[in-house]
Amino acid sequence: MARIAVGGFQHETNTFAPQRATWADFERADAWPGFVRGAELIDAVEGFNLPIAGAVKTLAGLGHELVPLCWCSAPPSSYGERDAYEKVAGWILDDLAAGGPLDGIYLDLHGAMVAEHHEDGEGELLRRIRALVGDRIPIVTSLDYHTNLTPEMVRYASAMIGYRTYPHIDMAATGSRAAQLLDRLLKDRRPLYKAYRQIDFLIPLVWQCTLMEPAKGIFALIEDIERGSDKSGAPGGSHNQGIVSITHTPGFPPADIAQCGAALVVYGHDRGAAEAAADRLAAAIREREAGFAGKLYTPDEAVIEAMRLAQGTTKPVLLADVQDNPGAGGTSDTVGLLRALIARRAKGAVIGMIVDPAAAEAATAAGEGALLDCGIGAKIGYAGEVPVEAQWRVVRLGSGMFTGSGPMYGGAKFRIGPMALVTDEASGVSVVLAAKRIQAVDQEIFRHVGVEPAQVPILALKSTVHFRGHFQPIAETILCVQSPGAHVTDPAELPYRHLRPGIRLRPLGPVHE
Ligand SMILES: [Zn+2]
């Protein structure tokens, strides 16, 4: 039995987004728990598809004594405010110092956090922890798929284990894998060699999905190399040779930091084998560069095509509003796609969620059946948009408190209200309004306000990829739409100032100088 400190600090930072992450954003619950510290952490995270939940369960099951630190996350947005970062980092260090003799540390980190005063949020946190606890204690972290994996993170953590799915359905499972690795490091006490590589092109999120090639094949290859069953005959591939674990993070492009982008790290007991496996995997990713591509529609093209397709099927045609994804820093209140649906009179279409606390509260005050006397959406004003004025009838109200049922947010306790379903009387287009920013990735969001997603002819979702986990099985087809949004799909359009020179801004794209 060992004494293991457990905690977490998660933020995915889109440095180009309009809203910053404040302490209040970390403190409050949304679909995930709010800030928790100390003994209450263990119960607070139980049952969520979160890395910390998987790690806690696995470490306790292995008989270890847990020393809870704190855990919190904020919705993806621009920079984490200095005050919020220093508060949380300070508590983690204080609680580690006060936690008595420790044998190991597990941390649930995102990996793409940029603070106002530190561009490598996780690298800086790990540096401080290493300085406090010394080199003897193993520190193992889990990481999001969208980590911008930096040399400092690799240096200061003993090992890091990333998700292997996008949509992320393996979050708790990744925490469990990290816990098992920490247990192994404590038992066998052999030094781990780290082989780190960065990939020299940025990969837009919309083409990072592991349900599709090339990401699907890359992650299959990772599992083959780990198992020692890669039969390609390439160096490092024929048998396992002491490879302990491989993490590949395709990166989070809208982050204006030097170390932005895809990377990988191979952990192994044999230096030569780890280096060879890292070379093999990096080469496999580079070979597939041209494959990270696909069709993007304008809002008008998408609505015309969706209305045509909807006539021949009873299953929903899905429109993914890929740039206004609140899970990547979007405001979830842009209205380009909504306006196109109304203009084409796409009767029966539903778009969700438009995050507009004022309109959701006004709908609640007006009551079901009433007409809303305000426009909806575009309250942040991204891209110069203005709210959509129409004959908005309040069809259904909701508290915003419900439990998710999909592969990603199953078990998550949503607290995003008030919510409302409102319908434009002239066009027959409906909008799901909410008060807090959460990505439209779970069917319960719609059921909560009386919409059965499978029965909607055209369903527009504020999401880039995650929606596929719960919605792809019910869909006729999926069209990806480029409407205004703070998660700009093509990184070549972003005004980077700090990115390292030499990296291509998209697959086969221009080189950043
Ligand atoms: Zn992610």
Reported as a single tens digit per residue, the pLDDT across 22-72 is 999 999 998 899 999 999 999 999 999 999 999 999 999 999 999 999 999
Closest CA relative to residue 123, chosen from 156, 92, 97? 156
**Which pLDDT belongs to residue 230?**
67
Neighbouring C-alpha atoms within 13 Å toward the C-beta of 306: 33
pLDDT band at 412 (very low <50, low <70, confident <90, very high): very high
Average the pLDDT over 383-411 and give the result: 97
Place of tokens 């209205």: 335
Distance of CA 172 from the midpoint of ligand 1 (Å): 13
Average confidence (pLDDT) over 236-256:
85
Q: How far is the CA of 70 from the centre of ligand 1 (A)?
A: 21
Tell me how far apart the alpha carbons of residues 160 and 263 are, in angstroms, rounded to a whole number: 12
Q: Give distance in angstroms: CA of 142 to centre of ligand 1.
A: 12
What's the whole-number average pLDDT of the chain?
96
pLDDT tops 80 at residue 234: no
pLDDT grade, residue 232 (50/70/90)? low
Residue 237 has pLDDT above 80, yes or no: no
Q: Measure 163 CA to ligand 1 centroid, in angstroms.
A: 8
Cα of 433 vs centre of ligand 1, distance in Å, is 24
Distance (angstroms) between ligand 1 centre and the Cα of 146 equals: 5
**Which residue pairs, CB below 8 angstroms and at least 24 apart, start in 366-375?**
366/394, 367/394, 367/397, 368/394, 368/395, 368/396, 368/397, 369/393, 369/394, 370/394, 372/422
Query: Residue 238 has what pLDDT?
Result: 47
Contact 244, 183 (CB under 8 A): no
118 Cα–ligand 1 center, Å: 20
Q: How confident is the model at residue 241 (pLDDT cuts 50, 70, 90)?
A: confident
Q: For residue 240, what pLDDT is reported?
A: 65
Residue 349 has pLDDT above 70, yes or no: yes
| Cα-to-centroid distance, 39 and ligand 1 (Å) | 28
Tell me the residues surrounding ligand 1 (ion) with CB < 5 Å. Answer: 144-146
What percentage of the chain carries pLDDT values higher than 90?
96
Query: 364 C-alpha vs ligand 1 centroid, how far in Å?
Result: 33
| Distance from C-alpha of 177 to C-alpha of 182, rounded to nearest angstrom | 9
Name the band, by pLDDT with cuts 50, 70 and 90, for residue 236. Answer: very low
pTM of the model: 0.94
Q: Across residues 424-431, what is the average pLDDT?
A: 98
Percent of the chain with pLDDT over 70: 98
Q: What's the 145 CA to ligand 1 centre distance in angstroms?
A: 5
